[in-house]
Chain A
Amino acid sequence: MTEPAPVITVSNLVKQFGRFAALRGVTAEFSGGKLYAILGDNGAGKTTLLRTLAGLNHPTGGQVSILGATRFHDICREVGYMAHPSLLYDEMSGMENLQYFARLYGMVDARCADVIRAVGLDPELARPVGQYSQGMRQRMSLARALLNDPKILLLDEPFSNVDVHSGTDMVHLLARTRDQGKTIFVVTHQASLLEGAADEFVWMRAGLIVGRTHGLKPPEGAN
Chain B
Amino acid sequence: MPAPTGITRATLLKDLRLEWRSKDAINSMLFFSLLVVVVFSFSFDPSAEESRQIAGGLVWVAFLFAAVVALNQTWARELRNQVLDAYRVSPAPANSLFLAKAIGNFIFVTVLEALMTPLFIAFYRLRALGPAWQLLIVAALGTWALVVNGTFFAAMSIRTRSREIMLPLLLFPISIPAILGMVQATTAVLNGEGSRVWIALLLSYDLVFTTACLLLFETVLNAE
A104 touches B18 (CB 8 A): no
B87 to chain A, nearest CB (A): 7
- Chain A, interface size: which category? 20 to 34
A87 touches B2 (CB 8 A): no
User: Knowing A57-B224, A87-B83 touch, does A106 contact B88 (C-beta < 8 A)?
Assistant: no
Interface SS, B side: helix
- Chain B, interface size: which category? 20 to 34
Decide if A120 is an interface residue (CB 8 Å cutoff).
no
A91 touches B85 (CB 8 A): no
User: Knowing A85-B82, A87-B83, A105-B2 touch, does A56 contact B22 (C-beta < 8 A)?
Assistant: no
Bound form: Cα–Cα A29–B218 in Å = 30
Bound form: Cα–Cα A77–B3 in Å = 15
User: Knowing A88-B81, A90-B80 touch, does A144 contact B89 (C-beta < 8 A)?
Assistant: no
Q: Which A residue's beta carbon lies closest to that of B1?
A: A106
Interface SS, A side: loop
Decide if B86 is an interface residue (CB 8 Å cutoff).
yes
Bound form: Cα–Cα A106–B18 in Å = 21
Bound form: Cα–Cα A83–B81 in Å = 9
Decide if B159 is an interface residue (CB 8 Å cutoff).
no
Q: Which B residue's beta carbon lies closest to that of A103?
A: B10
B3 touches A83 (CB 8 A): no
User: Knowing A57-B224, A79-B89 touch, does A89 contact B6 (C-beta < 8 A)?
Assistant: no
Chain A interface residues (CB < 8 Å from chain B): 54-58, 72-73, 76-77, 79, 81, 83, 85-92, 96, 100-101, 103-106, 128, 144, 148
Q: Note all chain B residues with C-beta closer than 8 A to A90.
A: 80-81
Decide if B91 is an interface residue (CB 8 Å cutoff).
yes
| Interface flags, B212-224, vs A, CB<8A=1, else 0 | 0000000000101
User: Knowing A83-B82, A86-B81 touch, does A56 contact B90 (C-beta < 8 A)?
Assistant: no
